[in-house]
Amino acid sequence: MNCAVIGGGSWGTAFAQILIDAGNDVVLWARDEAVVKQVNTEHRNDRFHPGRDLPESLRATADLPEAIRGADLVALAIPSQAMRPMLKEMKSSISNQAILVSLIKGVELETMERMSQVIQEVLECGQDQIAVATGPNLAGELIARQPAGGVVASLNILTAEIVQHAIATSYFRPYTSNDVIGCELAGAMKNVIALAVGMSAGLGMGDNTRATVITRGLAEMSRLGEAIGAQSATFAGLAGLGDLVATCSSPLSRNRSFGERLGQGMELIEAVAATKTTVEGVRAAPAILALARANHIEVPITEAVGDVLIGDLTTADAVRRLMGRSKKAES
């Protein structure tokens, strides 16, 4: 397939490599001219993957219409809050038949919409053209071609299968799903839970704490997901538990690392300055909290993280509040 990857960051670059390794022709769009030049001349992207060679056939451009013109598959790997304006910019150039794949694990802050909803709304395309790729996909490991699994979700199973075929390699094994809601919500919420895990690690807490936050975080994800129409099984799979464990456990996880900085005493502005890539959990927390409140669902970990981010709680106070909640049965 002729493919375009919109976003020359860590995940976009890794996904472009996956597409090439699966036998596709790929153009990578990046806003940064220095990234474009290095990809084209040195076959590297040292800003996000230092020391890693990229496929020589990967071509990069800073010209958005050029990147997507004639593409059969357009993968979107840009920050969630930049999605709507970027789609508006792309609309006149994108093919009516192109499959649109969201790689973004976030929720739009102002509307509480998932990325597939934003795509459909702005591009005025059918749901059968849209897919979501998610799972435990730490870009630093995939760029090294370490074995991993993932999930491709679409309301049209044929679309999911086309994307599945387009990204299946010897090291990347994608499964299909028709639960777009569950896959997108899990991808966004696990970033918020990873912030909480990072905060606890920054406070010096150990594996018992991490396991508790991961498990109760999974309960929050499942509870809210089922309330808005997701399938419960999704949260026990790669898009749910798999992605949650990877994001909460790995030092490669930007959300976990960001939370750890907060737990160590950094102010929010300092932690942002120390992070060179987008931390989706920071923007997702208030949107997910608003979504939960609109559906009358309790999400105490998400709420605590949100209060830390706006400065209403310290990380230590957040832990005390969570531990002091009323006692109840586990399920």
Task: Report how far residue 77's alpha carbon sits from residue 232's, in angstroms, rounded to the nearest whole number.
Answer: 26
Tokens of 218: 């999974």
CA distance between the termini of the chain: 46
| Residue with token string 């976003």 | 7
In this structure, the number of other CB atoms found within 10 A of the CB of residue 151 comes to 28
| Residue with token string 């089922």 | 226
Q: Catalytic site residues? A: 190
Q: Residues in the chain, how many? A: 331
Contact 189, 283 (CB under 8 A): no
Hey, is 172 helix, strand or coil? strand
The angle, 0 to 180 degrees and rounded to 10, between the axes of the packed helices 254-263 and 280-294 is 90
Task: Report how far residue 37's alpha carbon sits from residue 68's, in angstroms, rounded to the nearest whole number.
Answer: 18
